[in-house]
Structure 1
Amino acid sequence: MSKKNMGKIGVLLVNLGTPDTPETPDVRKYLREFLLDRRVIDINPVGRYFLINGIIAPFRAPKSAKVYKELWTERGSPLLFHGLDLKEKLQVALGDDYHVAFGMRYQSPSIKSALEELRDKSVDRIIVLPLFPQYASASTGSVQDKIMEIVKDWWVIPSINFISSFCDHPGFINSFAELGKQHMAQDNYDHVIFSYHGLPERQVLKGSDKGYCKLGSCCNSYNKRNKYCYRAACFATSRLLAEQLGLSEDQYTVTFQSRLLKDPWLQPYTDEVLKTLPSKGIKKVLAFSPAFVADCLETTIEVGEEFKEMFEHAGGEKWQLVESLNSNDTWVEAVKAMVLES
């Protein structure tokens, strides 16, 4: 087929989601859609419905709304405007042979609207990049599930390629390492924390290669048997970042944050680890959040402010968050490389 007869290639960037406003009704609406996803809270559907609508959404929404108001800017939600900025910069970087769209798994702009945008452009095929470096059923899997649910009703379905994980992609690693090195050049840190969003242990075990996953030393290497294991991917990202930053094994710790409900989640927990560091002589900590490529509540507020307060209360002197990749130029080039490789 000659180039002039070829349609554009569609690129769909997807992030998790954000309330439309930081007001309680919109936060409640967002929480309901997010937490009712069967891949996020994987329990009996009836129990999930009553748990979310009867307990979590009504009681958590007002508290979350207060936090979202701290996070909100003149441009709105950081997760949204950083995604739109990335979309615009990537479009320029890729050129006219591509059309880049952006959607959210929950709330607006929706995945459906982004797919409709690509369909209206008559793209020949679609490359989907869920903006989650480490694969998890509750994030990347949910995006893939939603896209397949939508396109099954299309009369013509173009080829669709999912980039399911980029936890060890050189461009991703270099982008985060570049930001870390900038902070390390400004101060001497005693230790580095790589804090990832947590998952219930059962979800990791459900998706594992049977008999291989032990939630332990099996994550010391990243291979074909555990390439979709979220825990193994987090450790792989950490090892590669540590190598780029020149850190030895005793100079960094991998932890997990943001747990919910009482079931055991991936450990060690960030909030528990950081409280022990000052008593070990670790007074200055550089904290990364490599599960997120855009600043959001979990990075700016949880890691950047709440953990900082906990660390200082325990006797620490400095807790510095490394900002997310957002739409910086190195990250845009990394995303471009991933698209072209696909």
Structure 2
Amino acid sequence: MEVSAFQPRVSAPKSVGKTGVLIVNLGTPDSPSVPDVRKYLREFLMDGRVIDISYVSRFFLVNGIIAPFRAPKSAKIYKQLWTETGSPLKYYGHIVEKELQQQLGDEYVVKLAMRYQSPSIEAGLNEFQKLGLTDIVVVPFFPQYASASTGSVYQKVMELVKSWDVIPAIRFVNRFLEHPKFIEGFAQIARKYMTTYDYDHFLFSYHGLPESQIRKGDVTKTVCQFGECCNTFHALNQHCYRAQCFETTRLLVQALGIPEGKYTTCFQSRLGSDPWIKPYTDDIIKELPAKGIKSVLAFSPAFVADCLETTIEVGVEYKELFEQAGGKHWQLVESLNDSPIWIEALIDLVKTA
């Protein structure tokens, strides 16, 4: 029996339906009122990946000490941040959601979510489930991976979908500090200041983490030394948040042509008495004027949208600290917010996840 050499061509399977895109930022209180700020702090700080101690200890620490006493102080700061459109972080989030949906087109459904408070991750996922979507891309808005940020988003998403009868294919964006458009986005904003002023120094301030969390992430138990181990970025330290921050600085310095010795990487927003990753931003700032540094261009590249930690902490509080120490000129490089190049970066991240 003669067998034909012809074989029917089998087409690659085509995607059925649309792809859900869940863009997730950290979160913000619903208002700058004390009750809403307290509610936000409780949800945020009760996350076991944020304060990684036993549940009982965390419960009494957060509900008995931090939330009751910190909420009134934080509410005053949030009132400084708040605008007519509300929280900048949520305001820009909704703009990005709209722009990304428009750019991606009808084959995608884009939803904004916050890890804490609203709009919730659960609401976004439930919308995808109602639409019958079985292909979902989750993009945490954290350039550098950390267990307390990106890791927490992963865990929340998986906890919510594990009970679904049809569990979708889920792809996560792990980090995007190396994405050329992320780097160029910050560089574009910085250049508009660098062309009008000759800065003595460039400061790159990232959100801090307890050293204990960095140690837990070192699966080798040998690499992390909180020092020169972050001077290079390689396979063994690529998951270390501190090393990722130093790599982000190196990429920005290269893009902007900043000379060696004219920049510093440091860490802000520490909480409690346990040691956090160093150097501390406030300590660095106090030392700069004594070294003859009178003008600083400050970056906060752990955040893609303006928020309390950028606009107020780096833009206002650190400016005052610098001037009190003898500095003359302090300028914050704003976050990417809703810039066109940030939308372009997100499109790349979604399509290559």
- TM-score band (shorter)? over 0.9
For 1:174 and 1:184, how far apart are their aligned partners in 2?
14
For 1:86 and 1:175, how far apart are their aligned partners in 2?
14
Question: What does 1:185-204 align with in structure 2 at a 5 Å threshold?
Answer: 185-204=195-214
Question: What does 1:92-103 align with in structure 2 at a 5 Å threshold?
Answer: 92-103=102-113
- Give the match's secondary structure for 2:44: helix
> 1:4 deviation in Å?
8.2
Indicate conservation of the 8 Å contact 2:101/2:108, yes or no.
yes
Structure 1, unaligned stretches of length 5 or more? none
> 1:40 deviation in Å?
0.3
Indicate conservation of the 8 Å contact 1:11/1:99, yes or no.
yes
Indicate conservation of the 8 Å contact 2:134/2:167, yes or no.
no
2:237 is the alignment partner of 1:226: yes
Partner of 1:74: 84
Q: TM-score, normalised by structure 1?
A: 0.98
Indicate conservation of the 8 Å contact 1:209/1:226, yes or no.
no
Indicate conservation of the 8 Å contact 2:207/2:269, yes or no.
yes
For 2:181 and 2:61, how far apart are their aligned partners in 1?
40
Match of 1:184, as an amino acid? M
Partner of 2:192: 182
Match of 1:248, as an amino acid? P
- Give the match's secondary structure for 2:72: helix
- Give the match's secondary structure for 1:275: helix
Indicate conservation of the 8 Å contact 2:134/2:169, yes or no.
yes
For 2:232 and 2:21, how far apart are their aligned partners in 1?
31
Partner of 1:16: 26
Structure 1, residues 156-185: CA drift from partner, whole Å, max 9, x if none?
011001101111111111111111111111
Match of 1:68, as an amino acid? Y
> 1:3 deviation in Å?
8.8
User: In the superposition, relative to structure 1, how do residues 212 and 70 fare at CA in structure 2: closer, same or farther (>3 Å)?
Assistant: same
Structure 1, residues 275-303: CA drift from partner, whole Å, max 9, x if none?
11111111010000000000000000000
For 1:328 and 1:84, how far apart are their aligned partners in 2?
13
Indicate which of 319, 323, 336 corresponds to 1:325.
Answer: 336
> Which structure's CA Rg is the greater one?
2
Question: What does 1:290-329 align with in structure 2 at a 5 Å threshold?
Answer: 290-329=301-340
Q: Larger deviation: 219-228 or 305-314?
A: 219-228
For 1:166 and 1:235, how far apart are their aligned partners in 2?
14
User: In the superposition, relative to structure 1, how do residues 221 and 209 fare at CA in structure 2: closer, same or farther (>3 Å)?
Assistant: farther
For 1:193 and 1:109, how far apart are their aligned partners in 2?
33
Question: What does 1:1-342 align with in structure 2 at a 5 Å threshold?
Answer: 6-210=16-220, 211-342=222-353
For 1:5 and 1:177, how far apart are their aligned partners in 2?
37
- Give the match's secondary structure for 2:261: helix
Indicate conservation of the 8 Å contact 2:41/2:71, yes or no.
yes
For 1:2 and 1:95, how far apart are their aligned partners in 2?
22
For 2:161 and 2:104, how far apart are their aligned partners in 1?
25
For 2:54 and 2:142, how far apart are their aligned partners in 1?
26
Partner of 2:3: none
Q: Larger deviation: 320-329 or 219-228?
A: 219-228
- How many residues end up aligned between the 2 structures? 342
RMSD (CA atoms): 1.3
> 1:2 deviation in Å?
8.5
Structure 1, residues 164-207: CA drift from partner, whole Å, max 9, x if none?
11111111111111111111111110000000000000101101
Structure 2, unaligned stretches of length 5 or more? 1-10
> 1:274 deviation in Å?
0.6
Structure 1, residues 292-329: CA drift from partner, whole Å, max 9, x if none?
00000000000000000000111101110000001110
Structure 1, residues 121-167: CA drift from partner, whole Å, max 9, x if none?
32231111100000000000000000000000111011001101111
For 2:131 and 2:196, how far apart are their aligned partners in 1?
47
Indicate conservation of the 8 Å contact 1:134/1:165, yes or no.
yes
For 2:147 and 2:129, how far apart are their aligned partners in 1?
26
Q: TM-score, normalised by structure 2?
A: 0.95
For 1:278 and 1:42, how far apart are their aligned partners in 2?
37
- Percent identity between the two aligned chains: 60
